[in-house]
Homo-oligomer: A and B are copies of this chain.
Amino acid sequence: MASLRGTQQPELSKKLYKIIKTENHVIGAHEAAARERVGVARQLSEWGEATEDETISEVSDKLGVLMAEIAEQEDLYAQALEDYRGVLKQIRNTESSVQPSRDHKAKISDEIAKLKYKEPQSTKIVQLEQELVRAEAQSLVAEAQLTNITRQKFKEAYDHHFAATIERAEKQIILAKHARRLLNLVDDTPVVPGDLHPPFAGTEEARQVLNDAEDDLRNYELHVEPIHSNSGNLGVGAMPGAPTGGIGAAPVQDTTQYRDNVGTVEDGRYAESSVQGTDAGSQPPYPVSEAERLEQQQATEQITQPQPTAFQHVA
Contact = CB atoms under 8 A, between A and B. Distances in A.
Given A56-B154, A150-B53, A231-B188, A194 B140 contact: yes
Contacts of A46: 15
B29 A15 contact: no
A55 interface: yes
Interface in A197-248: 197, 224-225, 227-231, 233-234, 238-241
Nearest to A141: B193
Interface string A30-53: 101100110110011011001101
Interface residues of A, number: 85
A169 interface: yes
Nearest to A31: B29
Given A191-B148, A231-B190, A240-B191, A23 B47 contact: no
A68 interface: no
A91 to B, nearest CB: 9
Contact of A15 (B22, B47, B176, B189): B47
Interface in A105-163: 137, 140-141, 143-144, 147-148, 150-152, 154-155, 158-159, 162-163
Interface stretch (A179-187, A269-277, A289-297, A300-308): A179-187
A70 interface: yes
A26 interface: yes
B150 A162 contact: no
A148 B240 contact: no
Contact residues of A: prevailing secondary structure: helix
B144 A195 contact: yes
A19 interface: yes
A186 B46 CA distance: 52
B32 A19 contact: no
B144 A188 contact: no
Contact of A194 (B26, B144, B176, B189): B144
A55 B44 CA distance: 50
Contacts of A43: 15, 18-19, 22
B180 A225 contact: yes
A18 B158 CA distance: 38
Interface of A: 15-16, 18-19, 22-23, 25-26, 29-30, 32-33, 36-37, 39-40, 43-44, 46-47, 50-51, 53, 55-56, 59-60, 63, 70, 137, 140-141, 143-144, 147-148, 150-152, 154-155, 158-159, 162-163, 165-166, 168-170, 172-173, 175-177, 179-181, 183-184, 186-195, 197, 224-225, 227-231, 233-234, 238-241, 251
- Counting from the closest, the 3 A-B pairs by CB-CB distance are A169-B169, A29-B33, A189-B230
Given A144-B195, A189-B251, 4 more contacts: A140-B193, A166-B176, A184-B228, A189-B240
6 contacts: A15-B47, A26-B40, A29-B32, A59-B154, A148-B191, A180-B227
